[in-house]
Amino acid sequence: MPAINLMSISLLYATSFAILLLGFLTALSSKDLIRLLIALELMFGAVFMSLIPLFAVAANPAFAASIIVIFTSAGELLVLIAAIVIQDRRVKNILVRDITAGGDKL
Amino acid sequence: MILLGAFAGVLVLSALGVLLSKDNFYSALFMTLTLVMVATVYALFDLQPLFVLIVFVFVGVIGIVTVALAATYRAMPERQFAWIWCIPVLITAVMLGFSIFTHALHGTGTGISISSPIGFTLQGFLKPGSEYQLLFLFLTSLVILLFLSVIKIYRGEES
B2-29 per-position pLDDT tens digit = 888 888 889 999 999 888 888 888 888 9
Residue B39 near residue B33 (C-beta atoms within 8 A): no
Rg for chain A (alpha carbons), in Å?
17
Residue B88 near residue A74 (C-beta atoms within 8 A): no
The pair phi, psi for residue A58, each rounded to 5°, is: -145, 100
pLDDT of residue B111: 46
**Sign of the dihedral defined by the CA atoms of residues A77, A82, A85, A89, in that order:** negative
User: In chain A, where are the structural domains located?
Assistant: 6-105
CATH code reported for the domain at A6-105: 1.10.287.3510
Yes or no, beta carbons of B135 and A55 under 8 Å apart: no
- Count, residues in chain A: 106
Yes or no, beta carbons of B118 and A26 under 8 Å apart: no
* Surface of B (112-141) touching A: CB under 8 A: 112-120, 124-125, 132, 135-136, 139
Q: Is the pLDDT of residue B114 over 50?
A: no
pLDDT of residue B159: 65
pLDDT in tens, B88-109: 878 888 887 787 777 766 655 4
Q: Three-class SS of residue B155?
A: helix
A12 interfaces chain B, CB cutoff of 8 Å: yes
Q: Is the pLDDT of residue B128 over 90?
A: no
Residue A67 near residue A85 (C-beta atoms within 8 A): no
Across the range B78-82, mean pLDDT stands at 60
A31 interfaces chain B, CB cutoff of 8 Å: yes
* pLDDT level of residue B116 (50, 70, 90 thresholds): low
Q: Is the pLDDT of residue A72 over 90?
A: no
Q: Which pTM was predicted?
A: 0.73
* pLDDT level of residue B118 (50, 70, 90 thresholds): low
**Helices H / strands E in chain A, number of each:** 4, 0
* Range among A43-57, B66-80, B120-134 rated most confident: A43-57
pLDDT in tens, A86-101: 888 888 878 877 776 6
Yes or no, beta carbons of B117 and A25 under 8 Å apart: no
Q: What is the ipTM of this complex?
A: 0.86
Yes or no, beta carbons of A48 and B54 under 8 Å apart: yes
> Which residues of chain B neighbour A42 with C-beta distances below 8 Å?
15, 18, 31, 34
> Which residues of chain B neighbour A72 with C-beta distances below 8 Å?
142
Residue B121: partners with Cβ closer than 8 Å, 6 or more residues away: none
Q: Is the pLDDT of residue B157 over 80?
A: no
Which residue on chain B is closest to A35 by alpha carbon? B24
B159 interfaces chain A, CB cutoff of 8 Å: no
Give me the residues paired with residue A95 across strands. Answer: A32
Residue B84: partners with Cβ closer than 8 Å, 6 or more residues away: none
pLDDT of residue B49: 85
Q: Is the pLDDT of residue A56 over 80?
A: yes
Q: How far is CA B73 from the centre of its chain?
A: 24
**pLDDT over 90 for what percent of chain A?**
18
Q: How far is Cα B75 from Cα B72, in angstroms, rounded to an integer?
A: 9
pLDDT of residue A43: 92
pLDDT in tens, B17-63: 888 888 888 888 999 999 999 999 998 888 888 888 888 888 888 88
